[in-house]
Amino acid sequence: MALFKRRTVGKPGEWFYCLKHGTVEEGPECRAADRFGPYATREEAAHAMDTARERNLEWETDPKWHDMGKGGEGSKDSKNRKGAPGDGDGA
């Protein structure tokens, strides 16, 4: 066990959205895994979940990330392809 807890210090004016508490905080108060940011303004941090939702939707509908080229879904190549170990296909 550490004797001293390392404090995460942010720059003045940095805003974060804490996922654990659902609150906006100035400077990082919660651990990095529990927050989004930094944001330039309190308003941006307050809309962090909306921003994440919009970005996720953009990614999910971006054809560059869902390449259905020659070996697309339903093709012979995709049906015969083996999954990664541990993905439940028995391979």
DSSP-derived 3-state class of residue 7: coil
Structure tokens at 14: 């940095």
pTM of the model: 0.60
The H-or-E segment that residue 38 falls in is strand 35-39
* 80 pLDDT above the threshold of 90: no
* d(C-alpha 14, C-alpha 8), whole Å: 12
Tell me what pLDDT residue 77 has: 44
Token pair in block for residue 39: 């944001």
pLDDT score for 88: 54
Of 11-15, 24-28, 41-45, 48-52, which range is least confident? 11-15
Question: Residue 13: its pLDDT value, please?
Answer: 87
pLDDT for 16 beyond 90: yes
